[in-house]
Structure formats: structure tokens, C-alpha cells
A and B are shown apart, each in its own frame.
Chain A
Amino acid sequence: MPLLSFELLSNYYVLNLNGKNFILDSWNENLQQDVNDKSFIQGDIGNRIVDINNRMHQATMSGSLLILKDIDQDGIPEVNTNTVPSEKAPANIYDVFDLILENLSFVNKPVGIDDTEYPYILENATINLNFSDTNATATITSTQPDGFGKVLSIIDSESTANIVFGETRFIGRTVKYWDFRLRLFGDYLALTQANINIRVVTDKKFYVGNNYANGNENPDYVILGYQITGDATISLMDYQYENFKLYQAPGTFGVFQNKIFLALQNDYRGERILDFGEFLVPPRIEFDTGANKLVTARISFNTFARRTQ
């Protein structure tokens, strides 16, 4: 019976993006270059002329949030007896949550204040939190003419269970609901699920040719802003529903106030925090009761995500 070559299976590959190794469920890369028919008075009803849009490289990566541990004691094989648990995170291994945090820290500062390279920009991201699973999806747009070619390498390794990412050996588990704290509306409430949406607002800029050069087929980008929105379902009693009603009295400005964040606990690398700021407004609140079910309120929210002193 012939065997399929291992090189054709995704599990044997490691995704290295801009020098960082990512553990993902999926990596989906696409080159978008829309083509439209153009009809001319051409003596034929066939398709002879097309209009080709400028190209755009995007990739969507998704995966569970992870807690990983280096199983080699300080990375020194002879010290490793496999009896003393290591307290270190594996070097240079990341998940989608890291990518989101890293990109948000880029876009909330002015571009150009240092020599930071931006080979890609976060387009949008979603973090889903519930009882059964915590996962994240991020879509990034390449800023380079050849897409992700210069910053992406997919390395085949002998085994994902053994030696991967060079000499690092690790084990891990997915983040579960007891590993994170989500503080949205005043304090730590009893949540059944939450979705957090992150969007970086960008615009593509094209220029036409001049005396010296042609125009650009691959656009330049401007980063215009970022937004964090979402919704959360909270278990509550009916009288507490009133507390989430936020009205604007004439002439005054009311918001919900407190430190709001998502914190993922991780003993091996420290807490990772996605900070939403201190203020939010709920544009929609749905109170939901039914036979044999929990009394809940599903609350949408917009945060004031901004850079502060």
C-alpha cells in the first residue's frame, strides 16, 4: 500500500512569520487580484478585454489560545531529568493572541517614530471565549509587493511531537475558561460567552506614474485607526438588568467606567493582557429569559481604545 508523502501534510510544517514561530490551526493565504470583463464595440461578443485590479495579499490565521511549556530544563539536555517540571515557556513560539497584541501595540503609536518594519498590518481579529473553547482568528494584510514571501517561511520538521522549532521541545494545552479573566462592565461578572472584535482601519493609496517612475501596482497603506467592539452574555438577575441601561442626559456624557481588559494567565511566560482602556458604551442590550434556561443579558459594547499618558 503506497503511503502519502509526509511533506504533503500540514502538521509537519511550522509557520514562521517575520522571525516568529506560530502554532496555528490554520493558515489561509490569498492573493486577490479581481478581474472584470470589459465590453467594447469589438466585432465579437466574446471576452477579449479585461480590467485587472491592483493586487492584495492577505492571510487569515486561526488557532486556539495556548499555554506552552518548555520540557527541557533551561534548554540544557544533561540537566533535564524529566522529573523536575520546567517553569519556562518555550523560546520563540507564539499563538494568534500574541500576534494580535503585537500588532495593536504597533498601530496605537505613530508610524515613523522609530525604524519599526511593518511587513504586514492586522486587518481584523476576533477572539471567542466560551466554556468549551477559546480561540482567535486574525487576518493580516501584507504591505510588501510580493506578499508574505519575505517574512513567511513554512519549515518542514521531523515531528511536531519531538524536535520542532530548532532544538525546542515543548508540551502545552489550550486555554480554558478558568485561565482568563475578562472584566468588562464594572467587574468580573459571570459570563457564559464573549466575543471580542478588533479592527484596524486602513486605507490603500495608489499613485500614478510621474516623470521618473511608474505608478504602484501594490498599494501603500495608511493606518487610520483601530476599534475594539464585542458582545458578552452575562448571567444575571432581572433587577440587575437595569444597571446596564446607560442613558445620556441632555448636556452630559455618560459611559461605563472601570478598568476593562482580557487577561490570559500563564505561569510560564507571565500574564498576557489585552487592555481595552477604562471606558465603554453598550449600544445594544438584550435581556433573555426562557423556560429551563439561564437568565442572561447579551450586551454589545464599544470600547474607547486609545493611547493615553
Chain B
Amino acid sequence: MAIYTSDHIGKWYLLDHSELGYVLTETFNCKIDREVSALKLIQGNPGTVVFSNNGKSFRSSLSSDVLIKQIAGKSYVNEFEPHVTVKKPPFSEIYSDTFDLLISDLQKIKDSMYDGSQKVLPKNALATATIQIGNTIKCNLEYNCKYDDIFNVTYVNQTPIEDFLARTAKNYDCKFYVSNDDNFETKILSGSIQINIQYTKFFMINYFTDTPIYSPQHYEISGNITIPFKDADEVLQKFNTYPILPVNLSILIGDRYLKIGQTSFQDGIDISFNENMNTADISFKVYAR
């Protein structure tokens, strides 16, 4: 075989999500971890002859730039040919991206914690989420489940897919709210948000499987922002004096809104003088409930 057939290439696949349609992501990985340890027994030789298998777990992760799908109205040249037909660049509603997945699954997990009747399925078992905000907006998600729990991974053969075009979201598409105070002005060079959802793993007798059952327990949210400064005292005055800051911590990308928390507690300030621009890295924990 001189050329690998296209079913070896990830680009020719679609990740079909039962609620969100086809999720567009740059990478999708699934890892199986099996906890294996060697047992040293009184066995007549110093080698390893017995292993202990303590169950396995799946971890699926997605990583991608967030996309802008809204279609702009004016984008054609009409001075030369007034009767040019305008056609909107296509973005079918059957596609979504990692940010859509985060908004949907985080809400489902929170709903289940506050309302026991709301169930979390394996495909919603979001474990960690990271949103990195800079020149581009990158969203990384990790799930405690196998790849086919989340998606039906479909190879696109002869039939072309439903059409879409999009661009990656940039800094100018994003609003990162870090304070409720309209007078709280700071230029944010970059920022990130970490969401960790804690699960307890249960290995159940009589289930006849070495795969655990997960139970979501609680979640923690932390973040940080990097800001430029010319006066370090001003930074300390703004962030160190009042470590508890009322916020509507949230991210707006295009027209999609992710609400994260109401109050943040500053837990670290890293002031850096260097040969380039002086920057301060402010990290905080978020009261999210």
C-alpha cells in the first residue's frame, strides 16, 4: 500500500454527539489506564511472578480553538457589479464546538448536584475544563469515559458532509468579565480558567467489570489573568488589599455565554520585571455555586 486509505486520517471523521450534532475539534484522544502493580511474594525467587490488577479507567479529551460561526452580513464586492448575488457562508446548525460542549455538560453536572432527579450520563462526565484566553481562545475538555460514550465516531466516505465554514475566535470576540465593578479597569493580556469536577470512583461487586462507576461530588474553579503594569504598587493596591472581589466571573465568546462564579478570592500575585513588558500574573479561586 503506497497511500494510506482515508479512514486512517482523523479529518475524514465526524464526532456525532446525540444532543449537539457534530462537534468540531482539533484533537480527540482517549486513554485507558490500568492500575497494575507487581506483588512480591515469598515465592522462591526474586523476580515478579504475580501482578495485582486494580481496575481500569477511561479518559477522553478534546482540545480545540473555539469557533465563531455567526455569519457576517456585508462581505462582498459590489462596486463593480451591483447585481452580484449574495450568499451567506454556510454554517449548518448540526455542528457545534468544544465551547458548546463545555456549556452544555457543565450545566448538566451542576443541575445534577443541585437536583438529584437530574441524571448525569457517562457522556456528560466532564472531569476538567480549561479555557485559555489570549490571542486565540482555546478550550480543553477531559471526560471520565470512553470515546464512544461521548460520540458516535463516523467515517465520511462517499457522501460529502453538510457544508460549513467558520473562523477561530480571537481576542476581539471575547469578553472576560473579572469584576462586577464598571470602574475596575485593567487591560488583560491573557487569562485562563480551570474547572475541576471531583468524582468518586466506585468499584462494585456483582457488576462483573473492572471499570469503575463515577459519582460527581463537587467542583472547583480557579483562574488567572496576566496584566501589564507600570507601577507595582498600583497592582498590589488593586489586588492585594481587597483579596475578596465580588465578580460576575464569566466568558462571552461571540454570542455564547459561560457563567462561572460570583466571587473570587485572590490567592497569588506574581509581579515580573523583565526585558519586555512588565506583567503581573493574578491568580484566584472562585466561589461558584
Contact = CB atoms under 8 A, between A and B. Distances in A.
Interface of A: 109-113, 118-119, 121, 143-144, 185-189, 205, 218, 220-225, 239-240, 243-244, 246, 248-258, 278-279, 304, 306-309
B254 interface: yes
The 5 closest A-B CB pairs, nearest first, are A112-B5, A186-B77, A254-B72, A110-B6, A143-B2
Contacts of B255: 251
Interface string B166-186: 110010110000000000000
Contacts of B19: none
B77 A220 contact: no
Please indicate which of the listed interface residues B2, B4, B170, B255 has the most CB atoms of chain A within 10 Å of its own CB. B2
Contacts of A113: 6, 157-158
Please indicate which of the listed interface residues A143, A223, A250 has the most CB atoms of chain B within 10 Å of its own CB. A250
Nearest to B8: A222
A307 B91 CA distance: 14
24 contacts: A109-B158, A110-B7, A111-B3, A112-B5, A112-B7, A113-B6, A113-B158, A118-B2, A143-B2, A220-B3, A222-B9, A224-B9, A248-B72, A251-B173, A252-B70, A252-B254, A253-B68, A253-B70, A256-B75, A257-B76, A257-B88, A306-B163, A309-B159, A309-B161
B257 to A, nearest CB: 12
B80 A186 contact: yes
A125 B156 CA distance: 27
Given A222-B8, A248-B167, A309-B163, A121 B75 contact: no
Given A189-B80, A220-B2, A248-B172, 10 more contacts: A112-B7, A121-B3, A220-B4, A222-B3, A243-B78, A246-B75, A248-B68, A279-B165, A309-B161, A309-B163
Question: Binding site of A, secondary structure by majority: helix, strand, loop or mixed?
Answer: loop
Contacts of A308: 160, 163
Given A220-B2, A221-B4, A186 B68 contact: no
A304 B165 contact: yes
Nearest to B159: A309
Question: Binding site of B, secondary structure by majority: helix, strand, loop or mixed?
Answer: loop
A304 B5 CA distance: 23
A309 B89 contact: no
Contacts of A240: 79-80
Contacts of A119: 2
A218 B3 CA distance: 11
Nearest to B68: A253
B4 A258 contact: no
B89 A253 contact: yes
A308 to B, nearest CB: 5
B65 to A, nearest CB: 13
A1 B12 CA distance: 64
Interface in B47-85: 68-81, 84-85
B275 interface: no
Contacts of A255: 72, 75, 89, 165
B86 interface: yes
Given A111-B6, A112-B5, A257 B87 contact: yes
A251 B68 contact: yes
B162 interface: yes
Contacts of A253: 68-72, 89, 91, 165-167
B157 A110 contact: yes
Contacts of B91: 253
B1 interface: yes
Contacts of B166: 253
B8 A187 contact: no
Nearest to A241: B79
A112 B6 contact: yes
B186 to A, nearest CB: 19
Please indicate which of the listed interface residues A246, A257, A278 has the most CB atoms of chain B within 10 Å of its own CB. A257
A248 B69 CA distance: 12
A252 to B, nearest CB: 4
